[in-house]
Every structure is written in structure tokens, then in C-alpha cells.
Structure 1
Amino acid sequence: MQEAPAPTGPHALLRNHELRRTPPRLRVLALLFESERHLSITEVCEQLSTSGRAVHPTTVYRTLETFTAVGLAHAVHGPGATRYGITGDPHHHTVCQRCGRVEGLASEHLTEAAARIAALTGLRPDSSGALLVYGRCPGCSA
């Protein structure tokens, strides 16, 4: 008999990480799941406010820091504001040096490059297995 897959909705994830399931945490986590990109604290606040689910900026900050501390989310530091995304399949990030936009990039797309960088320099991905690749996004390179 096969095991059922672990539940992955916001309620289940908070429970699995032994975090209280408060309305603000559920709202922030649901937004991170719904978003197709990594978001700054300001963007999280704006999107929650626009949707009628406003959460105080201090609460958003503390929530994202808590999610990062338990491995539920990850922070990408780059130019501009830190951006947050859901921790899921291992992936790398591209970061625009002009606007700070962060995009996820599946690990398999950089496996050979990461191995080559390690062989040449000894530099290895961070503890999450991620590399940051800096450049300019299509909007900023035009």
C-alpha cells in the first residue's frame, strides 16, 4: 500500500512546520503560493491590501522571517529589497541588477555550470543548493 502524499496547502504546511495557523500567516503563505515570482515585503503588503486581505507590514516582515527560519520560504538578497519565495524543488535564481526582479531557474538548467564553477574556483552553491545569477532582465536590457 502506497503512502498518501503529504498535504501541501497553507494550513498543512504551517502545521507540518509546527507554526500557528494565524490568519496573517495563512494570507502571506497563500499569496506566496499564488504568485509566480519572488516578492518583496512591500509587494506582499500591496497585493494583500489590493485583494482586501491587508496585513500590517511589521507582521508581514516577521511572518516572512519566520517562514525563512523554518525553511518554508527562502530569501533572495540582491540589489534593492530582499525577495521571498516558497521553498520547493531545488532551484537557482536570476537577479536583475537594475530593477531587482528575481526569477527562479530550475536546478537542472545549471547543473553542468555549477559543477564547472566548483571545479574552477572551489565555490559551491549555498546551503539551499542555490546559485544567484546576476544580469539584466528583458525589461531593463532594452
Structure 2
Amino acid sequence: MAAADPDIPRGRATHLSATSLHEPAASTYRSVDLATTYRNAAVMTERGALHKIEYAGKTLFGLAADPHHHLIRRGRGRLFELPASHFSEAAAVVKACSGFEVDPDGQVVSGSRRGCRHVARDIR
């Protein structure tokens, strides 16, 4: 995408701000304004095509096709995707200890990354 999100390298971003979604559309279709982009992203989120997360003070939208969770590396602010299947054991522990049932995808977890087996995909 364009330079609106300099923290997200081109070609690797899977979660984009409305501004980053708007720029290529506006360059092709000049009548598309930022409010239209926000409204469309909201509708697509309501219908399950996109999901949204809060990250680094921004609302980011990502495709909801493959269930996944979001890991934020504390201190560096890096955002990683973790396939939902890799989170199921942790969700089971939470449920056993508290009775709280974790949603099957879309969780945002922050922490540090030591000795990781690299099952998460770096998206930033």
C-alpha cells in the first residue's frame, strides 16, 4: 500500500487502516472518499468478510478468511498472526480455570517472544 502507514512494509501487510485501504481506491476512483471507505469496511466487518483490531493507536482491518489470533510483541510493537488452531490449548486452560470461553479467533495477546517455535507469521 501507499505511505500512509510507514510502519507496515509494502507487500507484507495483512491488516490495514482505512486510510491505507482508501488510497489505492481513491487513486483509481476519484469519487471514493475516506468516509465511504470507513463505511464499506464497517459493513464488510459486520458481514464477516473482514475483522478489525486496535493496534498502535489505529483500527486495522484484515481478511476474516482464515481464523487467527494476533500477537503483539511488547517493546517492539510487532504484530504477528497465529493460526487459531495453535491457540486452542491456551483457550482450554482459560475455560478450565475460569469458565470463560475464549472466542475462536480474533484475540489480541501482547507479550515477549523468547524461544518461539515460529508458528506465528510476522505481518509487520
Q: Which band: TM-score by shorter chain?
A: 0.5 to 0.7
CA distance in 2, matches of 1:101, 1:84: 16
Q: Please report how far the alpha carbon of residue 106 of structure 1 lies from its aligned counterpart in structure 2 after TM superposition.
A: 0.4
In structure 2, list runs of 5 or more residues that go unmatched: 1-10, 114-124
* Letter of the structure 2 residue corresponding to residue 73 of structure 1: L
How big is the alpha-carbon RMSD for the aligned residues of Structure 1 and Structure 2?
2.9
CA distance in 1, matches of 2:70, 2:106: 7
Q: Say whether the 8 Å CA contact 1:75–1:85 is kept in structure 2.
A: yes
Match of 2:38 among 39, 50, 61: 61
Partner of 1:111: 88
* Letter of the structure 2 residue corresponding to residue 129 of structure 1: D
Structure with greater helix percent: 1
- The answer to which structure, 1 or 2, has the higher relative contact order (CA under 8 A, 6+ apart) is 2
Count of residue pairs the alignment pairs up: 101
Structure with greater strand percent: 2
Match of 1:123 among 85, 89, 100: 100
Partner of 2:59: 82
Q: TM-score, normalised by structure 1?
A: 0.56
Deviations 1:19-72 (A, max 9, x none): xxxxxxxxxxxxxxx8641111122234545xx336411111001000011111
Q: Does 1:134 align with 2:89?
A: no
